Amino acid sequence: MRIGMRTVKTAIAATLAIILAEWLHLEYAVSAGIIAILSVQNTKKGSLQLAIQRVYSTVLALSIAAVFFMLIGYNAVSFGLYLLIFIPLAVRLHVADGIVVSSVLVSHILLEQSLSFFWFKNELLLMAVGAGIAIILNLYMPKMEDELKRSQQKIEAIMRQILTEMTQGLRNQSEYLDEFGLLNQLKGTLDYAQEKAARNLDNQFFASSHYYSQYVDMRLVQYRILTQMKRHLVSFHHSSEQSMALAEITEKTAQTLDEHNTAEDLVAEITTMVHEFRSSKLPETREEFENRAILFQFMNDLRYLLEMKRDFYAEFGLKEKEMTRGR
């Protein structure tokens, strides 16, 4: 049985919340522990946002309940009418996560049959203690940069394999063409990296770098381009002078594919190739025409793939270098 970090933090948060609530002489101190359990989240921002929502929902719940308790009395009907108003209002105000916890605190008022300041203060402090302890413990989050770096390396390794395979296909070695296995593997790795990048961003209160998220977004676009390039090759049958030249630049792309490669030289090279392709002699047969059209589509997709990397590096490459130096 494996005990995860969130489980450990949840147990500690509940324990500390109950101890602190008892030290403050709060009634129903165990409720602070329950609130702490429900407030520990996977990210720092998630925990803070949830705590703010629950404090807001508690104030709202106590206010609505107080009205019904004063008008109708401390009974089940009042509690039911409170829920009838509070739940849709909480949903409308985007604080629905606080419905259960706030209603538990309202039930304390119902049981004590008192609207005194003491009980309002008691319930608000229970919320503050439980949510506050959860936020403090959530300030510790394991660093994810190493895991994200490993994901980047895996993404790039798979992309190099795909481009190498496409190189072989352009040289009319179609027996080497895998169906879409590598592309599916790439998509799975990208989805995993995207989730980790989003969590990493949510664990930074003050950092403004979106590098990893933007990196994964760029690779996701390239994945879609590679999928289209793969479809082109399925219809390609005969090698030619143009396909050999295109195979060479595809191979270069595979060999130099790296997070820190600007792709400037490759973009310039393939742009020149596009111009030469357009000015070359027209095909003489239908089969040659179809193959030429496939190669032209493949070439434009490859240029777009390289331009995506060039533009990404222009915007984020230098920033990432500065971040690395600062670590």
In the chain, the amino acid numbered 39 is: S
**pLDDT tens for residues 104-131?**
899 999 998 988 899 989 999 998 898 8
- Which part of the chain has CATH 1.20.120.940? 142-323
Three-state secondary-structure class, residue 236: coil
Q: Is the pTM of this model over 0.75?
A: no
Q: What's the pLDDT at 306?
A: 86
User: Is the model more confident about 29 or about 259?
Assistant: 29
Residue 67 has pLDDT above 50, yes or no: yes
CA-closest candidate to residue 57, choices 131, 111, 119 = 131
User: What's the one-letter identity of residue 306?
Assistant: L
Pick the range with the lowest mean pLDDT from 75-84, 198-207, 291-300: 198-207
What is the predicted pLDDT for the residue at 267?
Answer: 83
Q: Is the pLDDT of residue 56 over 90?
A: no
pLDDT category of residue 283 using cuts at 50, 70 and 90: low
Stretch 47-76: mean pLDDT: 86
The 10s digit of each residue's pLDDT in 151-163 is: 888 888 898 888 8
pLDDT greater than 70 at residue 45: no
Return d(Cα 269, Cα 253) in angstroms, integer: 11
Mean pLDDT of 37-64: 79
pLDDT of residue 132: 86
- The winner for highest mean pLDDT among 14-23, 140-149, 206-215, 297-306 is 14-23
Higher pLDDT, 18 or 269: 18
311 or 126: which carries more pLDDT confidence? Answer: 126
Per-residue pLDDT at 142:
61
Higher pLDDT, 311 or 24: 24
Q: What angle do CA 85, 87, 91 make, to 5 degrees?
A: 120
pLDDT at site 75: 92
Q: What percent of the chain has pLDDT over 90?
A: 15
Model pLDDT, residue 81: 93
Query: What is the CATH class of 142-323?
Result: mainly alpha
Task: Check whether 8 has a pLDDT greater than 70.
Answer: yes
For residue 273, give the nearest of 256, 238, 298 by alpha carbon.
Answer: 298
DSSP of 162-216, one letter per residue? HHHHHHHHHTT-GGG---SHHHHHHHHHHHHHHHHHHHHHHT-SS----HHHHHH
Q: Measuring CA to CA, which residue among 124, 104, 113 is closest to residue 21?
A: 124
pLDDT of residue 324: 44
Give the chain's mean pLDDT.
Answer: 80
pLDDT band at 24 (very low <50, low <70, confident <90, very high): very high
- CA dihedral of residues 158, 159, 165, 171 (deg, nearest 10): -160
* Cβ burial, residue 140 (10 Å; 0-12/13-18/19+): exposed
What's residue 194's pLDDT? 83
